[in-house]
Amino acid sequence: MSRSALVGNVTAMLEDAGFLVSDRCAIRPKSFDIAARRGEDVLLVKILGNIDAFDGVTGAEMRRLGTYLNATPIVVGLRTRDEELKPGVVYFRHGVPVLSPDTAMDLFLEEVPPLIYAAPGGLYVNIDSEVLADAREDKEWSLGRLASELGVSRRTVSKYEDGMDASVEVAAELEDLFDAPLTAPVSVLDGAEEVRDDEPTPEDPDADPEDEPIVTVFTRIGFEVHPTDRAPFTAVNENGRRREQVLTGHSPFTETAQKRARIMSSVGEVTRTRSVYVVDELERESVEGTAIIEEAEMEEIEDAVDLRDLIMERGEDHEETA
């Protein structure tokens, strides 16, 4: 299956599952392919045939964007090396959950979350430690008795009851012994934080020197600026006092700039953010909802309210100016 067809299939699946899906981010380099929202759940999705192509720089950017946009970064892929991804299993690359299309369909369309995750050494599951302890006590088994049944140490059983995860084989044995479900699903929509390595959010890259005047304006009017490396926008700007985010782009007003502005508008609709593209010379006032502002106009903005009013005024008029 071609990557384009795979992107189309994943997009259609998410739409069938009730997600609002953005336009494809068809500009390189790109950290994610589509954004999607259903209710309060927001996804940033990278779609690959071979997930080994997912590198650390892209993973770091997706995790940063997930933090700033209150979204879950995920990768949907078909295989790794020469092996197909197993259905019902969550993999990880650079701190980002990775699902096969079948696993994604089960999760988003059928609302059946995966129970298994891959980690060094094999496949594992979350053991519900309280349920396990209760089941053992109901059967009046000691830690030693259960350890003997499993062929492990008493300390290992104690760790299971303290929250340590178990291999798929051990989990199956436990459920056979107690004739009860003991596993808990992997919370993919929360970033699978309960099973992936607890890594801090990667630091922001430095802003492009050409974007420094824009960074200065946003900082002056009360925003925290988060530059990007591979997104279709150059920065996510957060105003903590008003709890709002603004996506920004900056370049001459070329065909590529217009394409980026359209993608920014579509992603902004999904992530509930405003978008503004700063240009050297104003040729039109908006592109499909993304406000176009001259750099000289930006420098005259006095506060966040002025910026918001200008973005709303030009964004609302986009149908007339398109």
Q: Supply the pLDDT for residue 242.
A: 61
pTM comes to 0.90
Are residues 176 and 254 both part of a single domain? no
Rounded-to-integer distance, Cα 239 and Cα 218, Å: 9
Q: 191 falls in which pLDDT band (50, 70, 90)? A: confident
Q: Where are the beta strands (DSSP E) in 251-317?
A: 274-279, 286-287, 290-294
Q: Does 71 lie in the same domain as 173? A: no
Whether residues 46 and 16 share a domain: the answer is yes
Residue 196 falls within a domain, yes or no?
Answer: no
pLDDT digits (tens, 9 = 90+) for 274-295: 999 999 998 899 999 999 999 9
The average confidence (pLDDT) of the chain is 91
State how far the Cα of 202 lies from the Cα of 58, in Å rounded to an integer: 11
Q: The domain that contains 137 carries what CATH number?
A: 1.10.260.40
Asked if 36 and 14 count as a contact pair (C-beta separation under 8 A), the reply is yes
Looking at residue 139, the DSSP 8-state letter turns out to be T
Percent of the chain with pLDDT over 70: 97
Say yes or no to pLDDT of 158 above 50.
yes
Task: Please report the pLDDT score of residue 321 as a whole number.
Answer: 39
Contact by Cβ (8 Å): 7, 23: no
Predicted pLDDT of residue 320: 41
201-249 pLDDT, tens digit each: 788 999 999 999 999 999 999 999 999 999 999 999 998 776 789 999 9
Can you give the CATH number for the domain in which 283 is found?
3.40.1350
Nearest-angstrom CA–CA distance, 290 and 260 = 10
Burial grade of 58 (CB within 10 A; 0-12, 13-18, 19 or more):
buried
Diameter of the chain measured on Cα atoms = 78
> Do 225 and 269 reside in the same domain of the chain?
yes
Per the domain annotation, does 21 fall within a domain? yes
Give pLDDT, residue 322. 39
How many domains does the chain fold into? 3
188 and 113 in contact (C-beta within 8 Å)? yes
Alpha carbon 21 to chain centroid distance? Answer: 13
pLDDT at 319: 43
Does 27 score more than 90 pLDDT?
Answer: no
- Averaged over 53-76, what is the pLDDT? 95
